[in-house]
Amino acid sequence: MALLTDQIFATGVTLNDLLHIVITGDTSQNPAGSSFKATVGQVASLITGSTGTSGTSGTDGTSGTDGTSGTSGTDGSSGTDGTSGIDGSSGTDGTSGTDGTSGSSGTDGSSGIDGTSGIDGTSGTDGSSGTDGTSGTSPVSSFPYVYGLFSQIDNSNVVSGTTTETSIIGNGVGTLTVPANGFQVGDSFTVKMYGDIGASNSDQLRIRVKSGSVILGDTGAVSLPNISNSHFNMEIGFTIRSTGSTTNAVINSSGFFTYTANASGSLEAASFSTTNNTTFDTTISNTLDVTAQFDTTAVGTFIYTEIFILNKVY
């Protein structure tokens, strides 16, 4: 049997490698103790106890003396170089030939005389410009122009407490005037008026349509019923039948004046249709006016216009 001391050393040890141990206190296998295996890690954990006190360091030993160096060997001798060959001699250069003589240059010929320049011709005269053509005439419409002439923008004066004839046309834009000779035969116009009215029973109202002092239409005295803050409207039409001075010019005027009575609640009206062929004159300026006149000065009797529009319709 090989002895433990005959075994070779392991090349390396890990904590999992096995050791053979004898536990003397365990007599289950033999009165002298029992054999078991254990890992290096188990044994290491048993023998690692608390660290003891460190021992004192020993004294350093004396250093030994250095040995003597050996002598260097001698270098060998170098070999001798061989001799160089002898260069050959160079050949001699040939002699250069002589240059030939240059020929003489010929003489230049004389320049010819320049001829004289010709005379420039005269420029031709410009032709005259053509005359401008005449302008074309503006197109003429086969129909008369239709347009608005006047539009009231403020309420008219309130006619009340007076028997004086007073205009009921308020301030507006446009014009109520046709200049002298501005009318043509067939010219036609319309007036639309709207406003407020009040009266006591049997009060009389007269409305006149005029050009200056010339009367074009007249309702005459209209006897009114009892009217409290009611409304009225009036429509008037005019047509020029002939132009010229008085007795030659002719204008026809027609109109309707309507209002609401308190008692019946129905519309009541007055109208007129007048042909003026005696005092109307188109050779002078004409300015339209509409007037109202009461026969009483009672404060509750009144009339004024809120809207007044004059149009040329032909």
Per-domain residue ranges for the chain? Answer: 15-46, 147-312
Distances (CA, A) of 250 to 62, 190, 282: 166, 17, 9
pLDDT tens digit sequence for 129-186: 767 767 655 556 666 678 999 999 999 999 999 999 999 999 999 999 999 999 999 9
**For residues 228-247, average pLDDT:** 95
> What is the distance between the alpha carbons of residues 274 and 221, in angstroms, rounded to a whole number?
16
What is the distance of C-alpha 17 from the center of its chain?
92
Name the band, by pLDDT with cuts 50, 70 and 90, for residue 10: confident
pLDDT confidence of residue 92: 53
- The pLDDT value given to residue 70: 45
Helix (H) or strand (E) holding 43: helix 40-47
Vertex 64: Cα angle to 59 and 67 (nearest 5): 170
Contact at 8 Å (CB) between 164 and 293?
A: yes
Could you report the per-residue pLDDT of 74-104, keeping only the tens digit for each? 554 554 544 554 554 554 554 554 554 554 5
CATH class of domain segment(s) 147-312: mainly beta
Q: Are 288 and 310 in contact (CB under 8 A)?
A: yes
Q: Coil, helix or strand for 215?
A: strand
From residue 138, alpha-carbon distances to 5, 135, 141, 144 in Å are 149, 9, 10, 15
Which pLDDT score, from 0 to 100, does residue 77 have?
55
Average pLDDT over the chain, rounded to whole?
80
* pLDDT given for residue 45 in this prediction: 79
The 8-class DSSP code of residue 5 comes to: G
d(CA 277, CA 299): 39
